[in-house]
Amino acid sequence: MNAHLEHIASLSQDVKEIKEALHFIAKSSLMQLKDEWIDGQIVMQTLHISQRTLQSLRDNGTLPFSRINGKFYYKVTDIQELLEANYTKSKIR
């Protein structure tokens, strides 16, 4: 009986360690995504907007960017913030 309790305690500890490891992996993946930069082409395809619309978002300061050799890059987090800031719940119930 005592051996069974020790085995259960051992399994419980293993599950706890696995849970902590999975949490660490998920957190590090999220942090990696937060710092990810994508180019303008991906932004246009993802948001289904034109090149001119994307330029307007840059020009009016709505969407921060970085420019390297004429190519524009955007942080995923900035795009997420823009979408969240403009999120409107449906009024239809």
Residue pLDDT, tens place only, 1-33 = 788 888 888 888 989 998 988 887 776 655 655
pLDDT score recorded for residue 69: 96
pLDDT score recorded for residue 60: 97
Question: Six-digit token pair at 61?
Answer: 């300061």
pLDDT score recorded for residue 22: 83
Phi (first) and psi of residue 67, to 5 degrees: -120, 125
The residues, any chain, with a CB within 8 Å of residue 79's CB and separated by 6 or more, are 38, 43, 46, 47, 63
Residue pLDDT, tens place only, 42-93 = 999 999 999 999 999 999 999 999 999 999 999 999 999 999 999 998 877 6
For residue 51, the tally of other CB atoms under 10 A from its CB is 11
Q: What is the pTM of this model?
A: 0.60
